[in-house]
Structure 1
Amino acid sequence: MPNGVTTFLSDNDIAIALMSINYHTGSIDFFGVHPLYRKCGITKLFLDKVMNELLIDKDISVTTFREGDKADTGYRKAYKELGFAEAELLFEFGYHTQKLVLFSKNGGSTNE
């Protein structure tokens, strides 16, 4: 099985969402939604696909901005509204971040 998959969604010639996930770690390595499409439920749509088709019975993690970071354009809030819980504080690529985890409905593990 490959390490991961990249999924995208487009509207005619406009790329509106892109997600790259790692099967082995259960991590979302990249996820972006075009600003004009952020209130359309695309984040939940992609997350449902990941949980129900790609990473069944695994915890899913993502690294994002820490609480109060002015660079955050709303992703942290969106992840938390989708059920992600705060995990460890990190320092990656010279920047303070935080890991968020969405626990599997069946008590899975990322096997990290």
Structure 2
Amino acid sequence: MKVDYADNCDFQSWIDLLELVKESFPGLDLKEYKNVLHQSILNQEALIAKNDKGELVGELIFSRKNCELAFLAIHPRHRKKGIATNLIQHMFDLFPKGTNLKVITYREGDVKGIAARKLYQSIGFIEGKFITVFNYPCQELNYII
């Protein structure tokens, strides 16, 4: 598996993967998301993971300005293979030591968030404040690099 910055030629593959997992992201507005993705690619804030066949199997958007992991998705057939951890570790390397990064995910007890919370907590993210995003109860998790 190879992790690299996404570029414009990865755009459609990225959207194809998003279509497979979009139910996991309440409030997702595809038109707005595409604009964010274009900007993230331009800013080099979009990472992709490709398997040995060159297929896109994971995608991550982060914000340097907000010190945030903003989006993470792994192809359903390629989960539990370390792809998400690899993408996150690669993102960590792009921030200075001491940076406090956050990710917004589902609250404890929400069935939709069991796998995500387990992943983030296994990496070392700790629970932060409760928030609501797109009228859905969420929680910030934090990690200091």
TM-score, normalization by structure 2: 0.64
Which residue pairs with 2:110 in the alignment?
69
Matched, 1:7 2:47: yes
Kept in 2, the 8 Å contact 1:19–1:30? The answer is: yes
Deviation at 1:77, TM superposition (A): 0.8
Which residue pairs with 1:93 in the alignment?
134
| Structure 1: gaps spanning 5 or more residues | 105-112
Alignment partners' CA distance in 2, 1:99 and 1:3? 24
Deviation at 1:48, TM superposition (A): 1.5
User: Alignment length, in residue pairs?
Assistant: 102
Q: Which amino acid aligns with 1:8?
A: I
Map residues 13-92 of structure 1 onto 2, 5 A cutoff: 14-52=55-93, 54-57=94-97, 58-72=99-113, 74-92=115-133
Which residue pairs with 1:109 in the alignment?
none
Alignment partners' CA distance in 2, 1:14 and 1:49? 19
Kept in 1, the 8 Å contact 2:108–2:114? The answer is: no
Deviation at 1:13, TM superposition (A): 5.8
Higher relative contact order (CA 8 A, sep 6+): 1
Kept in 2, the 8 Å contact 1:27–1:62? The answer is: yes
**Which structure has greater helix proportion?**
2
**Which structure has greater strand proportion?**
1
Alpha carbons of 1:80 and 1:8: their partners in 2 closer, same or farther (altered >3 Å)? Answer: same
Q: Matched residue of 2:81: which SS?
A: coil
Kept in 2, the 8 Å contact 1:4–1:22? The answer is: no
Deviation at 1:37, TM superposition (A): 1.7
Deviation at 1:73, TM superposition (A): 5.1
Q: Matched residue of 1:72: which SS?
A: helix
Matched, 1:102 2:135: no
TM-score, normalization by structure 1: 0.81
Deviation at 1:72, TM superposition (A): 2.2
Which residue pairs with 1:108 in the alignment?
none
